[in-house]
Amino acid sequence: MLRTSRLLYDERLTAPRSWWAISVLFGLSLAAVFMPYGLIAALIALAIGTCLAGMYVSAQGSTRIRVTEDTLFVADARIPLAALGQPEVLEGEEARAWRTYKADLRAFMVMRSFIPGAVRVEVLDPGDPTPYLYLSTRTPDRLAQAIATRD
Residues 6+ apart with CB under 8 A from 142: 9
The domain locations on the chain are: 77-148
Question: Quick one: pLDDT at residue 4?
Answer: 64
Name the more confident of 116 and 3.
116
H or E segment and range at residue 72:
strand 71-74
In the 8-state DSSP scheme, what is residue 56? Answer: H
Q: What's the whole-number mean pLDDT along residues 21-25?
A: 95
Please determine, for residue 48, whether its predicted confidence score (pLDDT) is greater than 50.
Answer: yes
Q: How much of the chain, in percent, has pLDDT values that exceed 70? A: 96
Confidence of residue 66 (pLDDT cuts 50, 70, 90): very high
Q: Do residues 87 and 121 touch, judged by C-beta distance below 8 A?
A: yes
Q: SS3 of 140, please?
A: helix
Question: CA 83 to CA 15: how far, in whole Å?
Answer: 30
| Entry pTM | 0.80
Q: What pLDDT does residue 1 have? A: 44
Q: Which of 77, 91, 92 is nearest to 133 (CA)?
A: 77
